[in-house]
Amino acid sequence: MMLQKKEAGELTKILEEATKLTMPGVLICQEEGSSKIDTSILKKKVLAPLELSILADYISYQKKYEEKEREKHLSAILEQMPAEKECRVLILPKITFFITKKKIEELRKIDIGEQADKYYALSEQYKKILALCNQSIELLRDKGKMYYLWELLHIKREILQILEVMETKKAGSIDLEYLKRSIQEIDAWCSAIVYLTKEYGGEAEQRGDMYLFQEGNVNCINDVIACRRKMKHMTESELAEGFCDVRTIKRIEKRETNGQREVVANLFKKLGLSPEYQKQGFVTEQTEVKKLENELKKALNMHEVNTAEKILDRIGEITDNEDIGAKQFQEVCLINNAVNSGRIFTK
């Protein structure tokens, strides 16, 4: 169920009802549309990412909240976030946007005059907001999501411009050239997002859209098989050879049948695909591998080609070459690094 462009009052009532139905006891019930979160109860519950997301939306749209109380309750939701990045990416960008937007509005009202101590304190507060924005943007890049990316980029741009003006007036600890380069980078990102939304549809901004419930994803194995076969320049008869006939391949690719489990498993093996969902990382107990994986993702995001190559080489030395899922992930990273270096062109 998706809510689009509703009035704040209407959204608050819908979200309040959703919270009462799915998370009993979390709200301290008052008059309709003005209930507050009971943080002591919240801390005792183990909530799913989508439930935490509903709470964040409710706190944001509920007008009865004082700003300090709103920030406190949003921070309480952050404390309840699961450790997995796949879950955090559904919550952190949204809450970062809600908190930083209000925080900047408050900071803009402060008049520092010529007082150096106030200037330093204000600059540090903006840097903290910037760090929170960077954390969310990095997470979105890492997981390939655009959830509140447009809004966070504009908030980051606004902070950088404010810091640029502040640093111009009073020489501080930030490199002005770095600030200008960062603003130019954000402008390039925004231009790319505008191009993508025009080319493929959709909107850059969230515009108050939200999901109360998420339908199960449909992953069509038939299309995966057809696409992979063409990628490997295999004919239908070449793929079928050894365990099924050409007619079965044709029916699978046309979605007329899903195929028997054993047949699909053999097709995946022949096509060099993992029988499970593509991994977004390595499943391992080796702490060195997990550390290298995080460093690799950061290097790829920052286009540090040489660093990424060294990390990939090291990972190749210490990981299991028989794990198809892990090999898939490594191949994706190798391709991305080749694109970053200019050895492969996206066109």
Cα 247 to Cα 231: distance, rounded to the nearest angstrom: 20
Helix (H, G, I), strand (E, B) or coil at 145: coil
What is the model's pLDDT at position 36? 81
What is the model's pLDDT at position 218? 38
Structure token pair of residue 204: 């850059």
Q: What residue ranges of the chain have pLDDT lower than 50?
A: 1-5, 213-218
What is the model's pLDDT at position 117? 64
Which pairs from 236-245 meet CB under 8 Å and 24+ separation? 239/267, 239/270, 239/271, 242/266, 242/270
Cα 75 to Cα 31: distance, rounded to the nearest angstrom: 24
* DSSP-assigned letter for residue 253: H
* DSSP-assigned letter for residue 28: E
Q: Which residues pair with 28 in a beta bridge?
A: 36
Which pairs from 286-290 meet CB under 8 Å and 24+ separation? 286/318, 288/318, 289/315, 289/318, 289/319
The pTM for the full model equals 0.61
What is the model's pLDDT at position 187? 93
* DSSP-assigned letter for residue 208: T
Cα 207 to Cα 5: distance, rounded to the nearest angstrom: 7
What is the model's pLDDT at position 262? 85
What is the model's pLDDT at position 1? 43
Return phi, psi of residue 211, to 5°.
Answer: -105, 125
